[in-house]
C-alpha cells in the first residue's frame, strides 16, 4: 500500500530533498533518485519507524500553569480586539485579591510537586488591577516556598500603564513580560487607540524606558497583531525588534468584532508571502551569526529540532487553565466566560470530566480534516478559540509556513548547527529563572 502525505511528507531545501515522518517529526535526507520515485513507491514501510502517538486521548494531567484574568477591562480600544476591550462581551470586572490567592492555591493543590509552576496575569489590561498583581505575586512566591516549589510569572500587557514599581516587581521575580505593539507610532496608533485619545505608542515608549531604568524582566517579548489591512510585515518586524525586545512575533487576527479586520481565506496567500520574507531575513541573519529574534520562526525551528509531536495545539484544558474575575475556570484566557469551555472553579477545583471530554474531542487524529494532514502533529489542530469561531480557514497557510520552516531548519542545521545549542541555552536561561 502506498503511503499518503498523512504519514510522510517530501520537501526540498537548498541542501537537497528530504523526507518528513509525521509521527515523531523526524527528518531524513533523501537521494534525488529516491525522491523522484517516493510519491509512487512504498519505499519506507512505516512499521520500520517507532510510533510516538498512539491515538489515545490525553488523561487530564496535573496543572502546571494558570492565568488570572485580573482585569476584564482595558484602557484601550483596539479596533481588532477579540475580547471586546477585555470584557468578553460582558461588563468590566476586576479580580479580588481573595480570588487571586485562591487561584494560586488551586494551582499548587492540583499540580505535580516535582514540576515548576507558572502564574500568568491577563486581561483586558491587567495593570488596571496593579495592587492585586503585586500582592498576588508575593503571595504566590511565599506559598511556593512553603510548598518547596519553583515558580515563575508572566504578564501580557499593552505597556501603557507601566510604573516604576511594576518594573521593580518584574525584575525582583522571574517574569516574562509580553507587550503588544503593532509597528511605529503611526502604524500602532491607527489600530491601538487609547480611550483618552492620546498616543499609545508614546505611552509604550515611556513604559519601555522604565523597564530599562528600574530592572529589565527576565524575558521581554513583543506581540505584533496582524490584520488584512496590515501592510508589509518585514519593516514592521524590523522596527519592533529595534525597540530592544528579546523576541518578537506575529499574531494573525481571525476573530474580531470588525469582520474587515479578520483574515478570510483569500487573504492568506499574501500573508504567507510576507511571513516567508520575514523568515528569509531571519535565516540570513542566523547564518551570519547575528541575532534576529523572530519568534514565529524560532519557535518552529526549536520544535522541529526537538522532534516535537503533539496531538493538541497547546496545553489549554490540559496542564493549563485560566480563571475569570470571579474564579471560574476555563480552558484558556481566550475562552474566558465561554460556557463551552468551562472547567470548574478555583473554589471547587477543576472539572476533570470536562477536561477529559475536551481532550477526547480535540485529539487531532479524530478531527476532520486534520487527521489526513501531514502537519497535524506540528500544528495540533489550531487554536481552540479561533476554530470554535471561524473553523480551520488558514490550513493552507499553516502548511505553507511549516514547509518553509522545515526547509529553513535543514539549511541552518547544515550551515550553522551551533545555532541550536545557542538557542537551547537561551531557552534554559529563560525558563530556569524559577523563584524558590
CA distance 310 to 371: 13
Contact criterion met (CB below 8 Å) for 128 and 71:
yes
Residue 347 has pLDDT above 50, yes or no: yes
Span 238-263, average pLDDT: 95
Cell of 261: 479586520
CA distance 352 to 343: 8
Contact criterion met (CB below 8 Å) for 303 and 315:
no
Q: Is 335 helix (H, G, I), strand (E, B) or coil?
A: helix
More confident residue, 162 or 31: 162
Contact criterion met (CB below 8 Å) for 371 and 365:
yes
Span 258-277, average pLDDT: 96
Span 202-212, average pLDDT: 96
Span 199-216, average pLDDT: 94
Residue 355 has pLDDT above 60, yes or no: yes
CA distance 197 to 420: 45
Residue 254 has pLDDT above 70, yes or no: yes
Confidence of residue 85 (pLDDT cuts 50, 70, 90): low
Tell me what pLDDT residue 279 has. Answer: 98
Residue 115 has pLDDT above 70, yes or no: yes
Residue 405 has pLDDT above 50, yes or no: yes
| Stated pTM of the model | 0.93
Confidence of residue 241 (pLDDT cuts 50, 70, 90): very high
Residue 316 has pLDDT above 50, yes or no: yes
Q: Tell me the per-residue pLDDT of 166-189, one tens digit each, with 9 for 90 and over.
A: 999 999 999 999 999 999 999 999
Span 376-383, average pLDDT: 95
Q: Across 279-408, where does the E strand assignment appear?
A: 320-323, 328-330, 342-345, 349-350
Whole-number average pLDDT of the chain: 91
Cell of 317: 484544558
For the chain, give the percent of residues with pLDDT over 70: 92
Tell me what pLDDT residue 54 has. Answer: 81
User: What letters, b where the CB count within 10 A reaches 16 and e where it falls short, cover 374-400?
Assistant: bbbbbbbbbbbbbbeebebbbbebbbb
Domains, the chain, in order of start with CATH, read 65-262+312-354 (3.20.20.70)
Confidence of residue 422 (pLDDT cuts 50, 70, 90): confident
Q: Give the chain's radius of gyration (CA, Å).
A: 22
Residue 330 has pLDDT above 70, yes or no: yes
Confidence of residue 2 (pLDDT cuts 50, 70, 90): very low
Tell me what pLDDT residue 346 has. Answer: 98
- Among the listed residues 85, 90, 63, the one whose alpha carbon sits nearest the alpha carbon of residue 73: 85
Amino acid at each position: 500500500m502506498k503511503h499518503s502525505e498523512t504519514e510522510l511528507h517530501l520537501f526540498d531545501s537548498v541542501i537537497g530533498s528530504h523526507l518528513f515522518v509525521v509521527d515523531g517529526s523526524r527528518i531524513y535526507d533523501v537521494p534525488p533518485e529516491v525522491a523522484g520515485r517516493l510519491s509512487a513507491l512504498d519505499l519506507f514501510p512505516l512499521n520500520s519507524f517507532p510510533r510516538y502517538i498512539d491515538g489515545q486521548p490525553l488523561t487530564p494531567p496535573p496543572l502546571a500553569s494558570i492565568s488570572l484574568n485580573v482585569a476584564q477591562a482595558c484602557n484601550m480600544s483596539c479596533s481588532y480586539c477579540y475580547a471586546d476591550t477585555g470584557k468578553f462581551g460582558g461588563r468590566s470586572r476586576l479580580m479580588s485579591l481573595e480570588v487571586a490567592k485562591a487561584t494560586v492555591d488551586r494551582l499548587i493543590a492540583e499540580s505535580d510537586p516535582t514540576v515548576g509552576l507558572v502564574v500568568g496575569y491577563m486581561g483586558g489590561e491587567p495593570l488596571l488591577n496593579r495592587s492585586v498583581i503585586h500582592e498576588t505575586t508575593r503571595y504566590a512566591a511565599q506559598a511556593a516556598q512553603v510548598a518547596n516549589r519553583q515558580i515563575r510569572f508572566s504578564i501580557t500587557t499593552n505597556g501603557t500603564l507601566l510604573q516604576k514599581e511594576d518594573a521593580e516587581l518584574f525584575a525582583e521575580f522571574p517574569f516574562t513580560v509580553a507587550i503588544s505593539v503593532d509597528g511605529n507610532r503611526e502604524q500602532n496608533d491607527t489600530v491601538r487607540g487609547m480611550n483618552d485619545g492620546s498616543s499609545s505608542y508614546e505611552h509604550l515608549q515611556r513604559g519601555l524606558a522604565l523597564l530599562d531604568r528600574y530592572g529589565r524582566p527576565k524575558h521581554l517579548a513583543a506581540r505584533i497583531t496582524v490584520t488584512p489591512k496590515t501592510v508589509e510585515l518585514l519593516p514592521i518586524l524590523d522596527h519592533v525588534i529595534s525597540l530592544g525586545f528579546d523576541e518578537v512575533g506575529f499574531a494573525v487576527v481571525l476573530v474580531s468584532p470588525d469582520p474587515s479586520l479578520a483574515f478570510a481565506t483569500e487573504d492568506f496567500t499574501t500573508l504567507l508571502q510576507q511571513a516567508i520574507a520575514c523568515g528569509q531575513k531571519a535565516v540570513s541573519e542566523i547564518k551570519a551569526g547575528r541575532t534576529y529574534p523572530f519568534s514565529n520562526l524560532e519557535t518552529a525551528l526549536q520544535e522541529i529540532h526537538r522532534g516535537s509531536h503533539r496531538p493538541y495545539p497547546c496545553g489549554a484544558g490540559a496542564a493549563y487553565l485560566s480563571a475569570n474575575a470571579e474564579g471560574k475556570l476555563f480552558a484558556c484566557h481566550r475562552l474566558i466566560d465561554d460556557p463551552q469551555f468551562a472547567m470548574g472553579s478555583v473554589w471547587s477545583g477543576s472539572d476533570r470530566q470536562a477536561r477529559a471530554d475536551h481532550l477526547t474531542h480535540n485529539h487531532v487524529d479524530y478531527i476532520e480534516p486534520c487527521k489526513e494532514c501531514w502537519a497535524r502533529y506540528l500544528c495540533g489542530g489550531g487554536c481552540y478559540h479561533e476554530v470554535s469561531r471561524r473553523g480551520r480557514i488558514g490550513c493552507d497557510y499553516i502548511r505553507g509556513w511549516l514547509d518553509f520552516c522545515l526547509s529553513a531548519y535543514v539549511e541552518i542545521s547544515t550551515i550553522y548547527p551551533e545555532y541550536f545549542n545557542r538557542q537551547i541555552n537561551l531557552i534554559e536561561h529563560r525558563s530556569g529563572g524559577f523563584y524558590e
